[in-house]
Structure 1
């Protein structure tokens, strides 16, 4: 068993505050995950979700040791998330604005998965004799329909940015790229001029950028490739004095030449949706991905090619992207029914 001093030093190095006897083991877990080169966002999820658990343990079982931990403790915590916890517990500004209790089953599942990963590590490393992760089940969640834009939404969104201004033109190119390729927003924002091949009509999603750590080549239309090339040229003219080797590295930049971030892009897209008056569907970066997938299939593309373009190893996720709304089914039936033309 580690000494109190060793534990304190380890926790300090990992930016975890000592509040509970289990904290030491979480730091071991986090160190192992960092050595696996997990993405920063994934590591942050592990740390944030553990803090929620830590807060509950300090209140309910402040002296609970690892060898005393049981599946029932974990189930109690899952029950707490489902019935007692508020959505923004611990948030510096939003906590006071939401008093409803009980997280959605989908949110509980997200946090339970990271907890199960931690418990499985403890068992595999010999710190925990019982495989508690195997005993904890996820919540049954109804399969949600993944929203997508209708064609008229696409036209409205593309008309929203003011292309006479740099930011408006940049946003127009970003929206066009998302509609044309189904890229994840982070893949689009990490695009560099070197990733673009206008002649071949492709962009390269580097392994370091791709969610599954696998490089893929994504085809783009000539219109999109030309727009990207024009934006790169505009960047060179606007920010050449602010960049290394006289060449901006990223395609999508702010007014000051710094890269456009996820939160900034999300807000710009939301504002364009508000300006376009779009209702009934969430105007977010991921909705573009759903829309691309659905329209790709509607326009005659096949599921397996779509899988490669989207960068999914599991085709079941691709199937979710292409769920059709009732309106789509009726239009498809009107075009394809055996009675057409009879």
Structure 2
């Protein structure tokens, strides 16, 4: 069984794997993307999003061939996502968690972008005559708002882990690191001892780990540096025979995974009684960026710290400032201050 087929079998909740005439071309697309060096998580996104499309095609157009596909078929699928599909359609365990029909415009846009990438490949490679990708438009969503924790919620979250236990202290260090640096969760979980310069209070995010494929150096506070040094020492004492290079470990010395970290963070949010905002790894990144701007950090240094290739995402963080934030910022920054 090929790697592609194995992954598809894993993603399918039905006992029998679904098939559609377009599968052949998607296999070619996925192979091409692998040779281009796309990260595993990006490849998984392409495949899971294709799975949603495939299920719809099997139901609506089971015999549709590539040369028969038109922009109308694609628009019908986009309409299906907007009005009929549920968030966890086809998921083996989470499907029952959400029965609301219609995905949010933001979610539809995420899936439409991967679909456009697939369609663009088909056209560029000569498999598809029409350039359908250029005719598929993204949804006009309301101005993106990015959830962030209030400062009080940050303190509540940091107080949630039981630091007297190894796992609790590890989680406390991870939460502190995310709040202090704005690292993506996968960047944090893939840190090794060699990536940390405790003396200079800097973290090197390797190109192989960074989402944009470019390495960067991220500053951290003295407090975070001290906590990381303490955690590394604990790792060496507890797992001396294994000499672990990863920073965030399980009780057995193996690296902490994304799903495990996500669940731990969710549980700490429940313990802290956090409501009104999603307690997820990415919310920490949003909180760091919003508070960085609130505390007087300039957008250009923020862009560099976060590893964004342009200012568009940073602009969204600035737009997060509410009226109270703006008044506080104005009181600190007005030219009349001190006059």
- TM-score relative to the length of structure 2: 0.91
Give the Cα separation in 2 of the matches to 1:218 and 1:67.
49
Give the Cα separation in 2 of the matches to 1:277 and 1:297.
26
Which of the residues 313, 330, 333 maps onto 2:330? Answer: 333
Of the structure 1 ranges 278-287 and 95-104, higher mean CA displacement relative to structure 2 is found in 95-104
SS state of the match for residue 56, structure 2?
helix
Aligned partners of 1:11 and 1:23 also within 8 Å: no
SS state of the match for residue 204, structure 1?
strand
Pair 79,190 (structure 1): closer, same or farther in 2 beyond 3 Å:
same
SS state of the match for residue 204, structure 2?
strand
Pair 279,60 (structure 1): closer, same or farther in 2 beyond 3 Å:
closer
Of the structure 1 ranges 232-241 and 104-113, higher mean CA displacement relative to structure 2 is found in 104-113
Give the Cα separation in 1 of the matches to 2:295 and 2:97.
44
Which ranges in structure 1 are unaligned for 5 or more consecutive residues?
1-7
* Counterpart position of 2:175: 175
* Counterpart position of 2:262: 266
Per the TM alignment, residue 79 of structure 1 is displaced from its structure 2 partner at its CA by 1.2
* Counterpart position of 2:186: 186
Pair 40,274 (structure 1): closer, same or farther in 2 beyond 3 Å:
same
Write the deviation string for residues 14-62 of structure 1: whole angstroms up to 9, x where unpaired: 7575622111111111110111111111111111111211111122212
Give the Cα separation in 1 of the matches to 2:82 and 2:294.
39
Pair 275,125 (structure 1): closer, same or farther in 2 beyond 3 Å:
same
Per the TM alignment, residue 231 of structure 1 is displaced from its structure 2 partner at its CA by 0.4
Aligned partners of 2:18 and 2:55 also within 8 Å: no
Of the structure 1 ranges 110-119 and 332-341, higher mean CA displacement relative to structure 2 is found in 332-341
Per the TM alignment, residue 90 of structure 1 is displaced from its structure 2 partner at its CA by 1.2
Aligned ranges for residues 305-324 of structure 1 at < 5 Å? 305-322=301-318, 323-324=320-321
Of the structure 1 ranges 160-169 and 17-26, higher mean CA displacement relative to structure 2 is found in 17-26
Give the Cα separation in 2 of the matches to 1:103 and 1:288.
24
* Counterpart position of 2:71: 71
Aligned partners of 2:18 and 2:58 also within 8 Å: no
Pair 250,130 (structure 1): closer, same or farther in 2 beyond 3 Å:
same
* Counterpart position of 2:47: 47
Question: Does residue 293 of structure 2 align to residue 297 of structure 1?
Answer: yes
Per the TM alignment, residue 142 of structure 1 is displaced from its structure 2 partner at its CA by 0.7
* Counterpart position of 1:89: 89
Aligned partners of 2:265 and 2:279 also within 8 Å: yes
Give the Cα separation in 2 of the matches to 1:12 and 1:157.
41
Per the TM alignment, residue 11 of structure 1 is displaced from its structure 2 partner at its CA by 7.3
Q: Which has the larger radius of gyration?
A: 1
Cα-Cα RMSD: 2.1
SS state of the match for residue 240, structure 1?
coil
Aligned partners of 1:290 and 1:321 also within 8 Å: yes
Give the Cα separation in 1 of the matches to 2:18 and 2:168.
47
Question: Does residue 98 of structure 2 align to residue 101 of structure 1?
Answer: no
Which ranges in structure 2 are unaligned for 5 or more consecutive residues?
10-16
